[in-house]
Chain A
Amino acid sequence: MSTVQSDLSTIIRSNENPLVRFATGAGLIVLTYVALYALYAVQQPRALTSYSIAALINNTAPLALAAAGQAIIVISRGFDLSVAGVISICNVTLAVYPMDGPGGALASVVLCLAIGGSVGLVNGYLVAVLKLQSIAATLATMIICQGIALVILKAPGGSVSEWIVYEMTDRIFSVIPVSGLILGGVVLIWLALKRTSFGISLYAIGADETSAALSGINVTRVRFLAHVLAGCTYGLAGFMLSAQTATGNPTSGTPLLMLSFAAVALGGTALTGGRGGVFASIMGAATLILLQKVLFSSGVSSFYTGMFQGCILILAVVFSSLLARLGDAK
């Protein structure tokens, strides 16, 4: 494995320049988030209480998890539209078949992970084994998933079990939000995974699939696993969304589709693959949500939120690629 790693270092654009690492890593987006939060705190002094921080993280969690899964696929140079379908299925399942108590919550999480994982298995088979174009294959699975969600629940309704709704949006010792712990857990798992041969192979495939295959990476296996992993993450996103909304909606995942890509791009992950990360994408999602709050508290009509989101998205991508190019030029 060590030989594989040393071979791969030539494929992966591992750049030691601090400017490049700042632009391509999570540095830029974390800085943006902190600056935006400072602005928010000036407008709303309440923003620094643990209650509002927890509320903000609760709002962020579903999109952040969707973006985390999407980032895994984007790093391996793919697109995954099925995120919307998986979240919708998980949401309606939890609303139609609520299971109460801690045991029920555990069963619900496992169920959501299983739903996401099985959709991921199908995607993985279509994209990795049958070599279909990922955007087209996941478009089909997304439409099928949306159909399944509509079969389970025709119109918005049902209610998610109270235990999930209360405990998943609560704070431990009145300080640490549960949703924040879950996000932290996902980031830790990712940081560990990134250092395994799977993580390294994922970046290698995204940067240059042919070279990766030539250096002995089993491209099919890695891509397959990536889709399963991403599917499970979407399942978790569906779980957290249900805890947030407390009710079922067969199209609840649709608004998260485009926003998940926006979050990934805002986090500096190149949509051409091989660059970026899960943590940066989660921060991208957090920035998008925080931006809505800041605009709202500045008195901007919610009609125009999209204009700011769109412009900031373009600016972020231009700025981060500009920094990366400046760094490369040195």
Chain B
Amino acid sequence: MNSTSKPPSQDHRLVQTGDTRVSAKISRETISTLSVTILCLVLLFSARLINPALGSWSQVETVLILGFFLVVLSFGQGLVILTGGLDLSLPATITLGGILATSWIGAGNPAEWYLLPAVLAVCGLVGLASAIGVIWLRVPPFIMTMAMSIIVASALLGYTKGTPRGTAPDMAVALMKGDILGLPAPIVVLIIFVIVGWLFQSRSVYGRYLYAIGTNVEAARNAAVPVTAMRILPYVLSAICAGFVGIALVGYSNGATLRMGDDYLLPSIASVVIGGSSILGGRGTFLGSVGGALLLTILGTIIATLGLEFGFRTIIEGSIILIALLLLREELFQKLRSLKT
């Protein structure tokens, strides 16, 4: 699905000098998205060599279902990173979504059709609080979202008195375990999410605004971009995505825990960075992040079947993130380009 991505029409790296018209036709984003996608496919198929059970359609299904959580998170994280921020409040917000879904709603509650959006709205408020701190109090995003994470986690600890109770709402279970048109529901939702996310980030005027802000806030302001509103939006969307993942996780495992979000923070950043985004903002695509998230998930499933100890699996995972980072380095792209011209 990634091969359908066309490069954003303008190259936002205005600093580049010299005649690059020929090479600029293929933008950096396209190359990194393509290389991540190719790496994913190669891994999927070469996995057959390790274990014949791998590389089959059912494994692809597993990867997509497991990758669902990371893809959704990497959309929000990617938007925040695009505007030059970083969202460290994801773990607490995921847990918030999960715990509110089980304790407010639970199984067989007829009011879930308006309570689930209410849970997402509460999560959105966490994002709004982070945005207010970053924009008006001028607290660095790293600190602000970290502080929000500590605050929300502590509030949840007090709210649940240390032991979350309740069961998953029916809709959350249907989302993760149901079928739509013969396909597992999470895969259908994932595909729709990716298309909508891609349209938003790479094809809508709002996406363009975010790129402009990430490249240069002052220039964006001068170009009549609604800077304040567009800087709030990524944090709110990221928090809503995290809440959604929390609800989905509850549907998947039928219960919430206080640490359910902890394992997703660093992978969400890794997905975005492996997908070719700059951590400094202004560069990167959602399709790249999707590739990064799926790559990490594929790796996880392959490594899990190797039957290695957890420690060795962790080492391999870290090494592959490192290799991906090294392969996607700026200088390599420059070399690739000079080869073409």
Contacts and interface: CB of A to CB of B under 8 A. Distances in A.
Contacts of A144: 314-315, 318-319, 322
B88 A154 contact: no
B148 A310 contact: yes
A318 B138 contact: yes
Given A261-B143, A309-B150, A304 B309 contact: no
A254 B75 CA distance: 26
Nearest to B91: A258
Contact of B318 (A141, A250, A262, A304): A141
B325 A137 contact: yes
Contacts of B86: 135
A154 B309 CA distance: 9
Contacts of B273: 133, 135-136, 139
A148 B311 contact: yes
Q: Which bracket fits the contact residues of A?
A: 35 or more
Contact of A142 (B146, B318, B330): B318
Contact of A304 (B154, B322, B325, B331): B154
Contact of B147 (A133, A135, A154, A313): A313
B326 interface: yes
Which secondary structure dominates where chain A touches chain B?
Answer: helix
Contact of B154 (A137, A140, A306): A306
Which residue among A126, A144, A301 has the maximum number of chain B CB atoms within 10 Å of its CB?
Answer: A144
Interface in A97-135: 126, 130-133, 135
Given A144-B318, A147-B318, A317-B143, A258 B329 contact: no
Interface residues of B, number: 48
Interface stretch (B35-43, B45-53, B156-164, B193-201): B156-164
B326 A130 contact: yes
A172 interface: no
B63 to A, nearest CB: 20
Contact of A133 (B278, B312, B313, B315): B278
Interface in B282-341: 309-319, 321-322, 325-326, 329-331
Give the top 9 A-B pairs by smallest Cβ distance, nearest first: A306-B154, A150-B311, A147-B314, A143-B318, A147-B315, A144-B318, A151-B311, A310-B151, A140-B322
Interface of A: 79, 81, 126, 130-133, 135-137, 139-152, 154, 250, 258, 261-262, 265, 270-272, 301, 303-307, 309-311, 313-314, 317-318, 321
5 contacts: A79-B142, A139-B269, A303-B162, A313-B143, A313-B146
